Structure 1
Amino acid sequence: MAEKATSEAPASGPEETASEPAKVLTAGPSGGVAVSESTGEEQAGEPQEPASQAPVPSAPAAPTTPTAPVATKPAPPSEDIPSSPLLLTIVDVSHNSVTVSWEPPEKLGRLGLQGYMLELCREGASEWVPVNPRPMMVTQQTVRNLVLGEKFFLRVAAVSSAGAGPPAVLDQPVHIQENIEPPKIRVPRHLRQTYIRLVGESINLQIPFQGKPKPQASWTHNGQALDSQRVSVRSGDLDSILFIRSAQRSDSGCYELTVQLEGLEAKATIDILVIEKPGPPKSIRILDVWGCNAALEWTPPQDTGNTELLGYTVQKADKKTGQWFTVLERYHPTTCTISDLIIGNSYSFRVFSENLCGLSDSAATTKELAHIQKADITAKPKGFVERDFSEAPSFTQPLADHTSTPGYSTQLFCSVRASPKPKIIWMKNNMDIKGDPKYRALSEQGVCTLEIRKPSPFDSGVYTCKAINVLGEASVDCRLDVKASATH
């Protein structure tokens, strides 16, 4: 095995003398260093080492007085000294400890290996401090009770009875710092879908996050910095709160929270929609009056309240009473036929728009009245030829492409004209869906309706309405897309 390159500490103390006891420094329980004296003599009952053997390596001893004689020992033969340990590496670093490991040296020396001596030298110091008072026969060691923020070098030397070999030194200093916990954002369940608020209501988002040490949190609105005049943000150690006192429609959009820590980051997006009641339909007029029926038509509102319409509410009022009665609710088309009107009465009609906030504050009302005339009783002339009103099916109102949200029932509408009354067939992707409990088909006064109960993305596709009678057939189709709202 190739021997790992080693390097000494930046500076070392004075040379050790034989006449002075060596000071052995160990890491103390409070993160400091404990000092113990090692005289070179063994405790009572233990055999004394031969005088020719070198003492265990220790920290540099205190300098002797100028008058004291200095005794030196001859250097042991190189065959008796082990070589440098190999592959000194850091296994783990925590906020108060470090664990290092190494491999045995290639040469153990003729006298055998007594163990390893691990030493540390704090950054800026010149003294190497032993971690243990005596060599230990281990190849992995943990230094505990260290001080947060401390930096120091580590080295390890193999020791035989002849002395310590050259040490292996870590290339970089060890930095004791607080453990880093990567940032993580936990978005509450009710914020994982579009968060809907009414105009004037407050918005108060509290988003918990994790990270150690304290991460930095920041917000953006549609990729831009927040308007500090309208939005306030307060971030703590465990969460970030975004607050808007009175929401406006301009506050709608995508809000992104970014939590950063030591080059790591986590992001979460929250979609906010601020809505209000829609405006009324632009106009309404009576298309035709026949028998006990009246046909109406109106145009959609200019302002939908910043969200899609749920439909229209159609009401009628008899001129005699002036009381309004609801005829249709959440009706999607912009044309309808009101039936069962009383002969001899005159009627007004009005239409409200509706969204998640409710009905529009005002309605579009017809300017003229629909007069339901009494039928004149006349004798049928002899030889009267009855007119044939038969006609093949034709669609007066086609299907319109529609986008729906999963879990919310949706409806498809079209209008057909035919005589005799046609048979209505609904198909999805050219497959008849009759009998499927997920669908409910209705046909009234020529208006064909298909209700799709709680659709899922699987229900997307091309839907076809086909009308058939003895004179022919006609069909219209549209595309339905069931898409989930964009969330985090």
Structure 2
Amino acid sequence: MPGKPAPMKKSPAKKAAEKAPEPAPEPAPARVEAPPAEAPPVDAAPAVKGEAAAPAAETPAAAEGVAPAAEEGAAAAPAADAPAADAPDADAPAADAPAAYVPAADASAADASTPDASAADSLAADFPAADDTTDAAPAEAAVVEKPPKALTAPHPAVPTSAPLNVSVDDLNETSLTIKWNEPQTIGDSGLDGYTIEYCKDGTTDWVAAQKELTTANRLCIHNLTTGDLLHVRVVAVNPGGRSEPGTLAQPVPIHEIAERPKIRMPRALRACCVRKVGEQINLVIPFLGKPKPVVSWLKDGKPLDTKRVNIRNSDKDSILFIRSAERDDSGVYEMSVKVDSFEDKSAIVLQIVERPSNPTSMKLVDSWGFNAALEWTPPKDNGNTEITGYTVQKSDRKTGEWFSVLEHYHRLNATISDLIMGNSYIFRVFAENQVGISETSAVTKGVATIHKTGISYKPPEYQERDYSEAPKFTTPLSDRSATVGYTTKLLCSVRGSPRPKIEWLKNQMIIGDDPKYRKLTNQGICCLEIRKPGNFDGGIYTCRAKNPQGEAIVSCKLEVKHIILPQASK
């Protein structure tokens, strides 16, 4: 009868684990199963009390990519150490099974995924070997946690570039004001500020002008000694350190400036100064400044050609003189006056112009009726100024004289009208700018001939108006009274077409050629003059007007009175 096996003692680690309180459940991380590996055959231990033997599951150490126990120095006890014949206790493990086998490739991959070797050692220490395990429950699939990503190291801070355009803004006997522009390249680290340093000429002892950095682009340095000659530099500072210094071009003498230099440009020269070719140019530009400023001139950024341009300077002005202007004298003339480190600049734009060349070509496009169509191209040389128009002229081949038909014309094509039938014409065109028209012209090669065509003129027909009208008295005769022996007249007016014939009647009797009566008719005014009427000349007088259209009559009564003399006169 076999003897009863001795009870297996629990390890201290397991006792501590049983006494410790269970930790709060944590969210299960994503489970990643290790790829199946062909493990070497392991002799399974006999089952205890009908329980199945614990499967050879992968240990957490193997799941985390830890090398096999034999490589880590924690190899499992061989199966021979366990008694094969004796039945194990129920609480004892099935057998001292070897640790799960991890292929070399997986082990190397696990080693590569771990941050370092110390991390793998710590993982091996946290998970005990198989001989320390007393529970017979099957192990769950290994849980793999992704290692944290390594943080990218930040780029090292880089200093900025040097400040730009360091210059003197103000100066007196005890202070100096410097201004500058920010560096061209600042970088991602930004800009903390500027430090200004100065030193005397001939020394290398740079002194900071301020205790703290300044963010402004201007600084006044106080408490300087009159007569010193100072070098000044500006340094930009950021987390990357100090930049290259931006320095003044020349050292600055510390003294008072009596009057800053200033150019007083005349108003007429502030805009573009236009002169004709061959003209004399004499420009006087006054300026201010004490002591006497140093005057310099540049043309288009280069020194002047003294053979073409003369400069005369005095204490108060500078004169630019050109004896005979040419097209090449056009450009931007820059004047500069300087007193120590103070400077003032001004520019004059000089434009030398002349008449343009003739248009490139001119052609006769078409001619019809009394019209001719023309086209031409602009001149190659516009005289250094814009073209303001064109002048078109025509010439009759019979006379050969030229006449202007278009002036100050802006287009490059035109139609000439009102040409004479039967004549032939040629045309020419001149270009024009603010100086004048071109000396030569472009002439058409073709001739515009206005052909004669048969034209029959038929005057319009108008129906003559019938002005015939029957006689009509516009002013009738009026009754009259006459005195015996005094001549009297009877008047009336009549109209009619054709002119009516006038007859006078007395008591319905036609008055003939009796010398006592005088008949007058003028412009429709009819008059009957009765010379020295007697007692028997009274009665009814009638005027009758006749023409082919009809007749009209008008009558009046004439009464002849006697003169009664008083008895005394008898």
Which TM-score applies when normalising by structure 2? Answer: 0.35
Question: Greater Rg, structure 1 or structure 2?
Answer: 2
- Which fold has the larger relative contact order, with Cα–Cα distance below 8 Å and residues 6 or more apart in sequence? 1
Which TM-score applies when normalising by structure 1? Answer: 0.41
Structure with the higher strand share, 1 or 2: 1
Structure with the higher helix share, 1 or 2: 2
